[in-house]
Structure 1
Amino acid sequence: MNTANRQQPAAAGGYFPLSVLCLSRSWGGLELNTVRFAEWMRQRGWPVEIITLPDSPIAVRAAELGLPVQVLRNPLKAVDLPAAGRLAGFLQKFNTRVLLVTRNGDLALAVLCKTLRRPALKLVYQQHMQLGIAKRGLLHTLRYRALDGWLSPLPGLAREVLEKTRLPAARLHVVPLGIEVDKFAHSGRTQAQARAALAVELPAGAVLLGLVGRFDENKGQLFVVEAFAALHQRHPNAHLLLVGESTRNIGDGYRHAVLAKIESLGLGHAVHVRGFTLQPEIAYQALDISVVASTNETYGMVTIEAMATGLPVVASAAGGTLSIVANGRTGLLFPVGDQHAFGAAVEQLIQQPTLAVKIGQQAQAEALATYSHHNQCAQTEKVLRALAAA
């Protein structure tokens, strides 16, 4: 083995400098998870810095948490040699041993930096999105083979990686993305207190459904409102809570369309809309049933958060949700876009409260056992330390 460029052994305790790259101006699940992961790793003793776009939501949130931030522009994308040089300078200054990339679009820059400027750098991709089309061509093969590790959050996504790329199987690891499960499972907050915190006033005996997530066509708020209209006619005690902001860089058009639909259907008294919150656990704790209506959710962090709260989940049978929700045991699945099946699933839980409680309990046990952020960090650490020792 060539040892000319090998870095020094890790510091005592196995903690060495780790940089996290995500050049995104959006603020969704990927970006939230990027900042959360960096903060969790810092809490465990890792020196961590985030490299992101200037004035991005990631940069703002990381600064609020006191995380070191380096800002970088990448206007030339895959061939941006100046940006690759600046990235290499950041890594050298921080003495970075491993660069973890959380956005697929940043892999080309990271590989360029490693290939031309930092050959001893260990490069790891933390997957958040599906691959889509096959990527077995020469360019993608060279890019992916420059990776030292690939962290896939679900077994199904890992299988897709092996099927659609030429990544060596030994570099692929299944590491579920985690949440701080105690925030959701053991808050000490009652349902009434959570509803009061959200200013949601309900009549006695009301059943509250809820969808938490940014307003986006793929998240399905419009579908849920339309399906809820029929459900509400049969169950006037049913109410709906929508929590989230408009998708960054897209505008408020979809959110306005949802609000207009609520108004046109005469549901203003039964549908409660609230903005984005850094405390989503309060929203879940206010609910009786959680709804996930995404057309193709890669992973489904909101599904896991609801499960950890102990809620029965009614979710569209698509994407990563199929790997997370066991139909009839930890939630109820319905075909994407099927309003009748959605209504039937919700109605089953309303009419059988004992079943709803049982499913919620089983869902919570699954979430606590599998999706704790401590598990994610521990499994990631194992991969990072093995790479550093190689």
Structure 2
Amino acid sequence: MNSATASANPAVFPISLLCLSNSWGGLELNTVRFADWMRQRGWPVQIITLPGSPIATRTTELRLPLATLQNPWKAADIPAAGRLASLLRGFDTRVLIVTRNGDLGLAVLCKTFRMPQLRLVYQQHMQLGLAKRGLLHTLRYRALDAWLSPLPGLARQVQEKTRLAAEKLHVVPLGIELEKFAQPGFSQAEARAELGLFLPPNAVLMGLIGRFDDGKGQNFVVEALGKLREKHSQLHVLFVGEPTRNEGNAYREAVQKRVQELGLTEAVHVREFTLKPEVAYRALDISITASVNETYGMVTIEAMAAGLPVVASATGGTLEIVRDGNTGLLFPLRDEAAFADAVEQLLEVPELAERLGQQARKEALATYSHHRQCELTENVLRTLV
């Protein structure tokens, strides 16, 4: 069936995505979304993941082709490499896209010993961390046919920390379906009502969208809000997200306890993760990114597409996504005074908030659309086969 589809349209051919993760965060969500987008564009796409994983569940819900695989011996799992080759051959896979760094070893093993004709692409989602110029990583990366890096800065990091051939490296921003954020089709009042937010008429609602995790900065925002409300009692904060998977609820409970200690119960609003984040963005006046080190801030981009002024910590990939004074305001990590100053600028100069939001929406739509990610990826894939 896949061969017939490909022969009917020679511009497309069967591809598989490999992500053996049992978590459900940005990487996993983006893997499934990307597969679905490519399918909508006519590509035969298969997802290979762990049995019973959240990825497998979501893949099934979307009725995408699914294959499951376990590799208990990780990168040295020769039997698993053989099973992977069988799954790829069964789908007539021409290109395997690996979205999780931890699966590269298995994919390279499969290509090297089972399917030398296979084209192998790594879709980068995380920073590299330490340098990877040793023999093992050099041989592993040499087996790659293409490396897709989501930001220019991350691509420069790859050049600095690996021996990957420069011609294999491509900048392909991870895409988002931005239209639903830019044109939600409902008002701020309707969004707040749907979230059960009944705020005073003069309320200014700031929001941090993302799982409860110390690295996301909810605790920092609560402390800063306590001081800000001494002067700006109209400020409220919305947190939308669940605890980090497999890490318990201790951090979220600690944040909520601190809210009570500071007397902020009526000003801090917590809602669970939603499959309709556009509702949360529409309810906001200001979006906050307070992460310690966000590799690629999807929620920041979503907020920009929604036309919100963004106040963000000057760390990680956020430094490339948000241009200070143009598409948002940056503050040094965990600097409460600088954060408060940025928020007060937006409160005192409404024209600034409007200008930042408009410019942010324009840049987000031009750079981070899922259509653009798919087009750039297709251009790379077609050079490989």
TM over 0.5: yes
Q: Which residue of 1 aligns with 2:181?
A: 184
What is the alpha-carbon distance in structure 2 between the residues aligned to residue 249 and residue 112 of structure 1? 30
Deviation at 1:251, TM superposition (A): 1.3
What is the alpha-carbon distance in structure 2 between the residues aligned to residue 336 and residue 104 of structure 1? 27
The reply on whether 1:256 has 2:288 as its aligned counterpart is no
Which one of the candidate residues 8, 12, 17 is aligned to 1:15?
Answer: 12
Q: Aligned pair in 2 of structure 1 residues 8, 63: CA closer, same or farther (>3 Å)?
A: closer
Which one of the candidate residues 82, 86, 89 is aligned to 1:92?
Answer: 89
Which one of the candidate residues 376, 379, 383 is aligned to 1:379?
Answer: 376
Q: Is the partner of 1:151 in helix, strand or coil?
A: strand
Deviation at 1:138, TM superposition (A): 0.1
The one-letter code of the counterpart of 1:386 is: T
The reply on whether 1:131 has 2:128 as its aligned counterpart is yes
The within-5 A match list for 1:81-230 is 81-230=78-227
What is the alpha-carbon distance in structure 2 between the residues aligned to residue 196 and residue 8 of structure 1? 50
What is the alpha-carbon distance in structure 1 between the residues aligned to residue 348 and residue 100 of structure 2? 43
The reply on whether 1:352 has 2:349 as its aligned counterpart is yes
Deviation at 1:8, TM superposition (A): 11
The one-letter code of the counterpart of 2:369 is: S
TM-score (structure 1 length as normaliser)? 0.96
Q: Which residue of 2 aligns with 1:41?
A: 38
Q: Percent identity of the aligned residues?
A: 69
Q: Which residue of 2 aligns with 1:339?
A: 336
The within-5 A match list for 1:299-338 is 299-338=296-335
What is the alpha-carbon distance in structure 1 between the residues aligned to residue 356 and residue 39 of structure 2? 35
Q: Which residue of 2 aligns with 1:25?
A: 22
Q: Aligned pair in 2 of structure 1 residues 199, 114: CA closer, same or farther (>3 Å)?
A: same
Task: Identify unmatched segments of 5+ residues in structure 2.
Answer: none
Q: Is the partner of 1:234 in helix, strand or coil?
A: coil
Which one of the candidate residues 286, 291, 294 is aligned to 2:291?
Answer: 294
Q: Which residue of 2 aligns with 1:270?
A: 267
Deviation at 1:54, TM superposition (A): 1.1
Q: Is the partner of 1:123 in helix, strand or coil?
A: strand
Deviation at 1:133, TM superposition (A): 0.5
What is the alpha-carbon distance in structure 1 between the residues aligned to residue 328 and residue 180 of structure 2? 21
Residues 65-117 of structure 1: CA deviation (Å, up to 9, x unaligned): 11111111111011011111111110000000100000000000000011110
Q: Which residue of 2 aligns with 1:4?
A: none
Q: Which residue of 1 aligns with 2:55?
A: 58
Q: Is the partner of 1:233 in helix, strand or coil?
A: coil
Q: Is the partner of 2:325 in helix, strand or coil?
A: coil
Task: Identify unmatched segments of 5+ residues in structure 1.
Answer: 1-6
What is the alpha-carbon distance in structure 1 between the residues aligned to residue 23 and residue 259 of structure 2? 27
Deviation at 1:249, TM superposition (A): 1.4
Q: Which residue of 1 aligns with 2:362?
A: 365
Q: Is the partner of 2:345 in helix, strand or coil?
A: helix
Q: Aligned pair in 2 of structure 1 residues 10, 62: CA closer, same or farther (>3 Å)?
A: closer
What is the alpha-carbon distance in structure 2 between the residues aligned to residue 88 and residue 376 of structure 1? 27
The one-letter code of the counterpart of 1:23 is: L
What is the alpha-carbon distance in structure 2 between the residues aligned to residue 147 and residue 8 of structure 1? 27
Deviation at 1:205, TM superposition (A): 1.1
What is the alpha-carbon distance in structure 1 between the residues aligned to residue 118 and residue 366 of structure 2? 33
Stretch deviating more after TM superposition (131-140 or 61-70): 61-70
Residues 175-213 of structure 1: CA deviation (Å, up to 9, x unaligned): 001111111001111111111111111100110000000
Q: Which residue of 2 aligns with 1:68?
A: 65
Q: Is the partner of 2:229 in helix, strand or coil?
A: helix
Deviation at 1:264, TM superposition (A): 1.3
Q: Is the partner of 1:210 in helix, strand or coil?
A: strand
Q: Is the partner of 1:112 in helix, strand or coil?
A: helix
Q: Is the partner of 1:290 in helix, strand or coil?
A: strand
Deviation at 1:263, TM superposition (A): 1.4
CA RMSD in angstroms, aligned pairs only: 1.3
Q: Is the partner of 1:282 in helix, strand or coil?
A: helix
